[in-house]
Structure 1
């Protein structure tokens, strides 16, 4: 028996914006987000994504893709609601190919922003060049979601209201990975080779449409013109795309400044308070130590760095609160695989169990502390572990099509098959 059709709720607010609602939202790191023509689309990452929720600020521009994502019934309801002739309605959704491709593109942008890479938790990072090229291919495949009025650079160099319409920019940024991608295609098994060829042909078509050129793109076009790759020996895609960043997780006790140990503990690792690529995503990545140095009381912060974290130029900080006192910012500096910082603090004489709240953040980026999301972070880690386990397995003949969001990205396949010690 076929499952019942999914229904969305179409409503209009006092400002004239139309909302196509599906279920309820969660913390921002559990949502895949895509900026499209006249609207923002969101999908839940945990569970079956289904159709997206849409916040539509320009119904005229959105009509070019509404019918192709939700079906004609929803598109008509949005138009009627926007004119004020309909206060709200529940409308069934017709699943479409563009809806599946858009969900996959949104999930790819989520992975670029929120993937919880962690040496401590054994979750490998996704290679950014490899993910970036597949996002370029998916963006080109989803061009119906975007329009020329919001595309390209504005007067001040921003991307208007469609920053995710960036196929050409992604190809330019990650073109160095094109040659390794071709090498992988030549050596891959039939199932992975089909996905690789689809990505490479979409990249070639997007580059041609954008007028991009260069030796990597010319080599790509030449290889694709031969119809099928010449077979080569098998290779490890994890090593093929690995960056030599010199990251090595330190073992043993961290360096300390001496003094008598008073107390130690762990802090909160809230992913929302800093950009990606700075901090190891583990819950145990943030720790503190209180020491007595004569009459002084010093507070030391240690935060395990992300494998791609810059050595300089990121003014990361810790926010510390002791015994319900004021919040204090402690500047952190990169030392090997750690962000570290120290500050003096006031403790009552004889204090051995201070109540410490500690968060890591990037000033200027930080939205501020929010509700505890530890359960959701655990659920995200479980999700990516399942995806990596799936990516490491051969793809059966009846696997979901390329545009289906459960299918692993090439970057996940490479991460799952690497022999790096995580």
Structure 2
């Protein structure tokens, strides 16, 4: 818990810059382990590995935040935030009353985290999440959480129309999945809830189009007793991605060193690089008097095939950092460059990582333990999702907390035989 907070309590305090902070649990150690949501007047954050459903709030506009504070934390916390904002209090412990909106907000934050940090890896056997399926459930959750947002344009996570428009290609597959799933099962209940909420959201946003008209017609008709369609038939990949399919960069030369680089997920966008710790490898060769490094990085299955400026950053013997441009060939990003190695050096110390210039925040503290904890979390969630895909009925609809699997997780757990 936060310093000074007891069970069921949060700490409300005011900083020197006027920001009001609400803390009810431990903070996440890094960007990789923190789910974040931009809302009216504040930023909410949850530790992904801790499972807390009450967020930490950094409130920069307490007046705007009042529209949702009471509905997330309870009225006593909302009153304490107001008192801190107007200078009546500086630090106080307050009982919190978690609400359904708090659970939905936590789930929405985790969904955005999954879109950015899910550790999809051929090497580690962790399947990717289907982005259109995840996007539509995020649209439904955003609509459910509309009380968190207002009309100002400083909330990038208030993006219902964009999410529906960008991911409506998955609507037909979701409708087929819903129609073919036993109606009393948890998956069918989740599918129907998402589809109806997406329909409401699209209607509220004034969206139209063939896919949405098909959705509305499907929801207006009685649910048919259709033939069961396995998710694998709806979401299986159709591409020529084959692991380790490329040819060696060069032949010849004397190998003087080889190793595995750091695969820091913060340094490139999602969908570029396989998330495994073993995805980044390098070989240093002596070619006559020259010294050259060859870099190979296993690509994510969704990695762009168009030319992009992905690069490897190389450092030799604690010297200056240099960059090696990389290009994609089938399943591997690869490149090579000359190394500045002192004459007579036989065992150079080489550090190497992969990045996207312009996106890269720069090297930070090594986060291997955090990344491994996230892989463990992903495997646990996929096991839960596989169990949720079974046709047994549930006594009640699945709740909106972060522990309930997303439809994209259920699809990933039951369709991707290549993993």
TM-score, scaled relative to structure 2: 0.94
The match for 2:48 is 45
The match for 2:207 is 212
- 1:314 pairs with 2:308: yes
Query: Which of these residues, 99, 102, 106, is aligned with residue 105 of structure 2?
Result: 102
1:167 Cα deviation (Å)?
0.9
Equivalent residue pairs, number: 408
Q: 2: distance between equivalents of 1:102 and 1:419? A: 29
Query: Which of these residues, 238, 241, 257, is aligned with residue 235 of structure 2?
Result: 241
Q: Which runs of 5+ in 2 are unaligned?
A: 1-5
Q: Deviation per CA, 1:213-258: give whole Å up to 9, x if none.
A: 11111111111112x4212222232441245343221258734243
- 1:415 pairs with 2:412: yes
The match for 1:153 is none
The match for 2:130 is 127
| RMSD over equivalenced CA pairs, Å | 1.6
The match for 1:11 is 13
Q: What does 1:344-359 correspond to in 2, within 5 Å?
A: 344-359=338-353
Query: Which of these residues, 146, 166, 171, is aligned with residue 159 of structure 2?
Result: 166
- 1:184 pairs with 2:186: no
The match for 1:147 is 150
Residues 418 and 161 of structure 1, relative CA distance in 2, 3 Å threshold = same
Indicate conservation of the 8 Å contact 1:195/1:402, yes or no.
Answer: no
Q: 1: distance between equivalents of 2:232 and 2:318? A: 47
Runs of 4+ in 1 over 6 A off after TM superposition: none
Indicate conservation of the 8 Å contact 2:27/2:46, yes or no.
Answer: no
Q: 2: distance between equivalents of 1:323 and 1:400? A: 58
Q: 2: distance between equivalents of 1:399 and 1:260? A: 65
1:403 match: secondary structure: coil
Q: What does 1:298-309 correspond to in 2, within 5 Å?
A: 298-309=292-303
The match for 1:156 is none
TM-score, scaled relative to structure 1: 0.93
Q: Deviation per CA, 1:129-171: give whole Å up to 9, x if none.
A: 00000000000011110111x2xxxxxxxxx311111111111
The match for 1:87 is 90
1:350 Cα deviation (Å)?
4.4
The match for 1:401 is 398
1:351 Cα deviation (Å)?
3.3
Q: What does 1:9-88 correspond to in 2, within 5 Å?
A: 9-22=11-24, 23-88=26-91
Q: Which runs of 5+ in 1 are unaligned?
A: 151-159
Residues 419 and 12 of structure 1, relative CA distance in 2, 3 Å threshold = closer
Indicate conservation of the 8 Å contact 2:132/2:167, yes or no.
Answer: yes
The match for 2:3 is none
Indicate conservation of the 8 Å contact 1:177/1:241, yes or no.
Answer: no
Q: What does 1:234-383 correspond to in 2, within 5 Å?
A: 234-251=228-245, 254-383=248-377
